[in-house]
Structure 1
Amino acid sequence: MILGIDIGTSVTKAALIDRDGTSHNHASTNSALITGPNGHVEQDLDDVMDSVARVAREVAHAASEPIEAVALTAQGDGLWLRDAEGAAVRNPLSWMDARASDIVARWGEGGADSVTDRVFRLTGSGVFPGCHAALLAWLAEHEPESFEKAAVAGYCADAVLQRLTGEITVDASDASLPFLDVRTREYVDEALELCGIANWRHLLPAPAPVDATFSLDAAGAELLGLPLGTPVSSGPYDLQACSFGAGAEHAGDGTVIIGTTLACQVFTHDTTNKPEFEPAGMWLCTPDPDLYLRVMPSMVGTAGLDWLLSMFQLTPSDLTRLLDESPAGANGVRALSFLSPAGERAPFVDPLARGQFTGLTIASTRADVVRALCESVVFAARHCLEVLGFDGELSASGGGVRSSAWAQLLADVMGRPIWIPHEAQVGIRGAAQVAWKRLGTPVDTDAWRTQRTRLDPNLDAHAALEAGYREYLADLAAARAQWNRA
């Protein structure tokens, strides 16, 4: 079995994964988010490492069989600056951080000749405030001394890997956004120059080979309570790992992840940007050099619902009841779910994007407002998938689909069946699947794909929600004009 560890934005999870894809001995613990003025969101690397150690030791202690390897997956984007020994030279900056919003807005000026558009044409990835490009540019402008202390500008997964193995590297899935040519797996120097950070290129580690594994060093073995030399596989990062864990792995397969963020993604052999793409989303390398993942990761998924439920002094356990209490269309209440202080990053980039509720009257109920927000999240997912041109098999995962009513809403809005994995720990499951392949003993992925439930749409509900989706697109177009009014 493999010990899988998923280092999320605020929760670190671990589980043992058997070769048949089942998980055992789950453990989770919170790690801290450090928030500040102007949308600052940071983490503490030592706190993150403590969370990794806690869940790994708890799970490994209960293992009934030897652990073949450790499989890591983690949140992507952000900026995790470290020295040669793996110590943070400053607090890591989260992908949710909004401090570089003004830089991204400035990069977006100039239409087809803007920095944003030119970088997108070079790499296929959009830039947003919490990505490497924007955060590196902000530090270069406001805090260049941090670069002088740093040996590597990486991500969460490779920061943890360095502390466990001593290796400085990065998985190509993490490195893909925003400077990598995913076809050659090499950084595009012109993109770095456009963002004004070419002087710091030496801080970007070369992507690891697709079959790379590493080994726990003495410090890592002590931290996790595992034998020295235990193999470690790092990556792909969490969005892609969730796709594998949910049963999507072939060209044409799509996944919707209704988690803290909302991610819509499709596997493809074609890296051609469609003409209708705005400069948003990302191309990600996968463990297969000829397969790529096109991702549209919206900023807010269940995080927006958690905020709203807390405002009403409700909990996620109330969600199914609330959705049942309000009909499709939420009795006229409509919402836009752009609730991140950093704005939106897919299927468009706008640091000024903000959420809204309309159609409220004194007759509106909490259930109407909650349903309107849930519908808007699912409408956003459909919008992302339509921009991607997706028309294949669709899997769904994340905390949102644990609500049967919200999962059904997704199927109804999409008007197509969705496949929901039996296992909730899809990120850990996907990371373990990749780890076994890297170890040279791949699992039977076709058998793993059978461990899913098919959820069919209610065609009457789909028809009722179709008008709501068209209203959503109209509301979004009007809001975008308002956000960017001179």
Structure 2
Amino acid sequence: MIVGVDVGTTVTKAALIGRDGRAVRSAAAPSQLVRRGVEVEQDLEDVLSTVAAVVREVCAGVDAPVDAIALTGQGDGLWLRDADGYAVRPPISWQDGRASSLVEEWRAEGAPDGVMAQVFALTGSGLFPGSHAALLAYLDAHEPESLRRAAVAGYCIDAVLQRLTGTISVDASDASLPFLDVRSRTYVDEALELCGIAGWRHLLADPAPPHAVFALDDRGAALLGLPAGTPVTAGPYDLQACGFGSGSVAENDATMVVGTTLACQVLTTDATVRAGDEPAGMWLCTPDPATYLHVMPSMVGTAGVDWALRTLGLEITALDTLLADSAPGAGGVRAFPYFSGAGERAPFVDPRARGRLDGMTLSTTPADLVRAVCESVAYAARHCFDRLGLSGEVAACGGGTRSKAWLQIFADVLGTDIHVPREPLVGARGAALVAWESLGVDIDVEAWRADRDVIVPSPASARYDVGYRRYLDDLATARASWSRASAEPASGDPASEDRGATA
């Protein structure tokens, strides 16, 4: 058995997984997310305590030895640590918006010759406020003492790995954004120079080789209650692990992760950055050096629907009923799903992007409002997949897939079947699959893929084609208005947070 551990933004999950891909036992523990205006931070010790709690719970009373601990988790953000793995300042979440003004400068200045466009041409990665590039540059300007105290500027998974094994490393999937040439798996120094942070290059750990295996040291063994020397794998990070755990393992396979964010991704053997593409999204290394994951990770998925339900005083358990009470088209109500205070990062980057509801009348119902937001997230998914060039099978996972009615909207908007794994802990499952392969154990991947349900498009799909074209037209108009508003405070400024989403 392998213990797959998925260190999410607000919840850490673990599952004891066999070679057949089924979870025998599972556990979950919440972690803290500290918000101060646009600033979003975590506590490394709190995160480690959740990892220890879920691993100990799933391993309690298990007689058979644990073959490995397989780590995956949230990506991006900035987790600064010292040589012993302790945080030199609170880890900054990928949701953080303090660097929004800086990203706006990179996006606007001299486009298409600005920093963002040039870095994208070098690495295929779009820059956004919660990325390493923006956060390192922000701290360089406002908090350089933290950088001077640090031995490593990493991510969530490698922070946990360091405390469990004593090793400073990083999975190539995490390191991919925003400075890595994914084909050579080496950092592009010119990208660091463009962002003004070449002086901190020494804080970036070299990516681990594919299928690297580490081992619990005495400190990690004491934390987890497992024998020292137990194998540990660390990566890929959660977007990719969720894809593998959902059965997306072949070229052109696509995954839609409907979680706090909406991540749309496609496996490909071609990592060519096309001239003229808008700087957004990312290319990630995978455990196979010849295969890459092209990702468009929108900032808002279930978070936008949660906001709508909370604002209306409704519970998530009412979602399917609400969607049944409003017909496709939401009674004429149209929405933009850009509710994050940091704006949007895919399939376009704009820190000023904001959510919106249009077309309301006195006859508009709460069900119409909720359906409009759900439809807008589905339109965002189609927009992302249009950028990615969707041509293969689509799998879906994440908390949003618990709603069959919302899944039907996704299938109708995308106009394709959606395959949903019956095993819900797909992140831990995907990490375990990579761990089995890293240990040299043969796994029947096709058997893992077969354990899925299928949602097929309904006749409403044709109506959503019309709605999607209107969505794109509305978005083009909105983006022009956001650009005209450039004289206002950027979303990283405290004054802007009070404006929130417009309705």
TM over 0.5: yes
CA distance in 2, matches of 1:121, 1:220: 40
Match of 1:269 in 2: 269
Match of 1:471 in 2: 470
Q: Secondary structure at the match of 2:381?
A: helix
Asked if the contact 1:433/1:442 (under 8 Å) is kept, the reply is no
Q: Secondary structure at the match of 2:374?
A: helix
Asked if the contact 2:415/2:461 (under 8 Å) is kept, the reply is yes
1:169 maps to 2:172: no
CA distance in 2, matches of 1:315, 1:72: 32
Which 4+ residue blocks in structure 1 deviate beyond 6 angstroms? Answer: none
Asked if the contact 2:248/2:255 (under 8 Å) is kept, the reply is yes
Match of 1:384 in 2: 384
Q: Secondary structure at the match of 2:127?
A: coil
CA distance in 2, matches of 1:476, 1:358: 12
One-letter identity of the residue aligned with 1:26:
S
Match of 1:152 in 2: 152
CA distance in 2, matches of 1:147, 1:330: 49
Asked if the contact 2:285/2:291 (under 8 Å) is kept, the reply is yes
Q: Secondary structure at the match of 2:177?
A: helix
Could you tell me how far 1:276 is from its partner in structure 2? 5.0
Query: CA deviation digits over 1:325-381, x for unaligned, max 9?
Result: 000000000000000000000000000000000001111111000000000001000
> What is the 5 A alignment of 1:328-339?
328-339=328-339
Match of 1:447 in 2: 447
Could you tell me how far 1:478 is from its partner in structure 2? 1.0
Match of 1:325 in 2: 325
Match of 1:183 in 2: 183
Query: CA deviation digits over 1:104-161, x for unaligned, max 9?
Result: 0111121111000000000010000000000000000000001111000000000000
Could you tell me how far 1:64 is from its partner in structure 2? 4.7
Match of 1:113 in 2: 113
Query: CA deviation digits over 1:421-451, x for unaligned, max 9?
Result: 1111110000000001001113111111111
CA distance in 2, matches of 1:304, 1:414: 19
Match of 1:95 in 2: 94
Q: Secondary structure at the match of 1:111?
A: coil
One-letter identity of the residue aligned with 2:383:
H
One-letter identity of the residue aligned with 1:261:
T
Could you tell me how far 1:46 is from its partner in structure 2? 0.5
Q: Secondary structure at the match of 1:70?
A: strand
Asked if the contact 2:211/2:434 (under 8 Å) is kept, the reply is no
Could you tell me how far 1:217 is from its partner in structure 2? 0.6
Q: CA RMSD in A?
A: 0.9
State the identity as a percent: 62
Match of 1:298 in 2: 298
> What is the 5 A alignment of 1:6-45?
6-37=6-37, 39-45=38-44
TM-score (ref. length: structure 2): 0.95
Asked if the contact 1:16/1:63 (under 8 Å) is kept, the reply is no
CA distance in 1, matches of 2:419, 2:212: 31
Unaligned segments of structure 2, at least 5 residues: 487-503
Q: Secondary structure at the match of 2:176?
A: helix
Q: Secondary structure at the match of 1:464?
A: helix
Could you tell me how far 1:275 is from its partner in structure 2? 3.9
Unaligned segments of structure 1, at least 5 residues: none
CA distance in 1, matches of 2:246, 2:276: 28
Q: Which moved more, 1:50-59 or 1:267-276?
A: 267-276
Query: CA deviation digits over 1:170-216, x for unaligned, max 9?
Result: 00000000000000000000000000000000000000010211000
Match of 2:223 in 1: 223
Query: CA deviation digits over 1:249-291, x for unaligned, max 9?
Result: 1111111111010000000000112345210000000000000
